[in-house]
Structure 1
């Protein structure tokens, strides 16, 4: 039964947020869906119950969500808008090292990069992400890491490792 409770809790919270309703029908439906998904997927989704239920990790997840939505997304959108208007871009694919251990942390970093305008991950292996970058400022992997993924890695370590 490893992982059932954290998975069900996350599914329920997500369900309520996406429906935007707290009616008894929606809450009951959310509980049923959450229990079903938790029972079916909990053992596959969660590696360790003690890590998943750690409130400090959840707090870092909330902080990351707001930082990502308010800071990272805003900066990237403004940069892409500027590049569209000025035509100043130099696209290319760069090799970016990742300094995290778990597949969850690597996935969080890759998804964060892909969801941020101007970059997306086209491939990944154990130690590197291959990122299409709208304006290649450097081809040096460590410098590219600092520009593209260092902030995401910092949060991924606190949340998932």
Structure 2
């Protein structure tokens, strides 16, 4: 049961990256996914019942679409404007993270880092330390509102 979520993710990624669903690619992808899921699932999946919950997968899909269409576009436009205007105020800010699971924190930290204009430079149990291209505040709660609140909302629905 623990191997199924890893198998599905690896097979899906394999088929997306090969761009083909020919029988050879399906068999090869299934074999690769089978080996990887057998080797790594005990380290990656802590609660197999949660990992197979379709509602969590739906939230993950919604998050992916929101992130790629809304968050990324807004951040790219902001950084482009800052490049042309030179209007930057870089700082490392302390951002509280209100999540329990390591997976949730990892999703938030990766989302912040992958969004232009912000990079997570350190993580501890309660805070993310974010290098922000235009720091509008140094207050932790205000920084959370502007940087990670939306990411946390989705991370909690997916992983907690």
Alignment TM class, shorter chain as reference: over 0.9
**Residue 45 (str. 1) matches residue 25 (str. 2):** no
- Partners of 1:154 and 1:18 in 2: CA distance: 29
Runs of 4+ off more than 2 Å: none
* 5+ residue gaps, structure 2: none
Q: Compute the displacement of 1:25 (Å).
A: 1.0
| Aligned residue-pair number | 160
Structure 2 residue aligned with 1:56: 55
**Residue 3 (str. 1) matches residue 22 (str. 2):** no
Map 1:1-161 → 2, pairs under 5 A: 3-161=2-160
* 5+ residue gaps, structure 1: none
Q: For each residue in 1:21-75, what CA deviation from the matched residue of structure 2 results, as whole angstroms up to 9, or x when unmatched? A: 1111111110001000110001110110110000000000000000000000000
The alignment partner of 1:84 has SS state of: helix
After TM superposition, the score normalised by the length of structure 2 is: 0.99
Q: For each residue in 1:124-147, what CA deviation from the matched residue of structure 2 results, as whole angstroms up to 9, or x when unmatched? A: 000000000000000000000000
